[in-house]
Amino acid sequence: MIRKRRVLLQGMLFALCAGAGLVHAVPAAAATPAAPDGRQLTAFFRAVQFDDAKTVNAMIGSVVNANQPNPLGGEPGLVLAVREDALRVVEAFLAHPGTDLEAKAANGNTALMMAAFKRNRPVIEALLAKGAKVNQPGWTALHYAAAAGDNEIVALLLKHGAKIDQASPLKSGAYTPLMMAAREGKDDTALLLMQHGAKPSLKNSEGLTPEQLADRAGKTRVAQAIRNASR
C-alpha cells in the first residue's frame, strides 16, 4: 500500500514539474532516411555525371548515401565523378564528411586509381591531401600511372610512399608497375621506376620479366632501355 502511494505521489510530482516547464521531453531519435528509390538514384547519378554540384549537394547524405554505388556500372559517386571529369562534384564529395575515399567500384577501382588512369594530377593531389591511400592489395594508382607513362604522377605517387614493385592480382598476371610501363612502351617511365628501385628481374605469372614483356609487345626501344639500365 505504501509503495503504491509512493508511485502515485511520484507521478503527481512529475506532472506538476512538467506543467511548470521543469521537465523537458526527451527528443525522439532522428529518423533514418529511407532508402532512395530508383528515380532518386537516377537523378543523383545523372547529376554526378553532368557535374551538377547543386543537385548532388542537396541529395548527398540526406537522400543518397555518399558511398552508394551506381546501379549502372557499380561505381560510387566519387569514382564516377572522377571518371567523368566532374570537378565541381568531386569537390562536393571531398567536402562531405561521409565520403569514403577508399570506396571501390565493382572492378576494384578507387577514386585515386581512376584519377591516375585519367592522368588528373589536381584531383590526385586533392585526394592525397584528404588522406587517400596510395597502396592496397592488387592493382594500384601507380600501375595506372606507369601504364600511361605519366612521369609526374608516378613521381608524385612514389613521393607519397607508393610500393614500387606491387604486383597486380595473380589472376590478372601479377604485373608490377615497371612491367606495365614496359608492356606499353613507356621507356622514360620504365627508367624512372628503375631509378627509384624497381626490380627488372621480377617475373609475372607467365614467368616474363619487364624486358621480355616489352619484347613480346614489340616495344623494342623500352626493352633495350631496360637491358642497358640493368647492366
pLDDT means over runs of 10, the chain (231 residues) = 44 42 39 78 98 98 96 96 98 97 97 98 98 97 98 98 98 97 96 97 97 95 90 77
162 within 8 A of 140, measured Cβ to Cβ: yes
Residues with Cβ within 8 Å of 161's Cβ and at least 6 positions away in sequence, in order, are 134, 135
Contacts (Cβ under 8 Å, ≥6 apart) of 28:
none
The alpha carbon dihedral of 71, 76, 78, 83 has a sign of: negative
Place of cell 589536381: 122
Phi, psi of 182 (to 5 degrees): -65, -45
Residue 138 burial by Cβ neighbours in a 10 Å radius (0-12, 13-18, 19+): middle
d(CA 183, CA 216) in angstroms, rounded, equals: 8
First to last CA, the chain: 100
pTM, whole model, 2 decimals?
Answer: 0.84
Which pLDDT score, from 0 to 100, does residue 33 have?
60
Give the span between the Cα atoms of 20 and 221, in whole angstroms: 88
Decide: helix, strand or coil at residue 134.
coil
Give the separation between CA 90 and CA 158, rounded to whole angstroms: 23
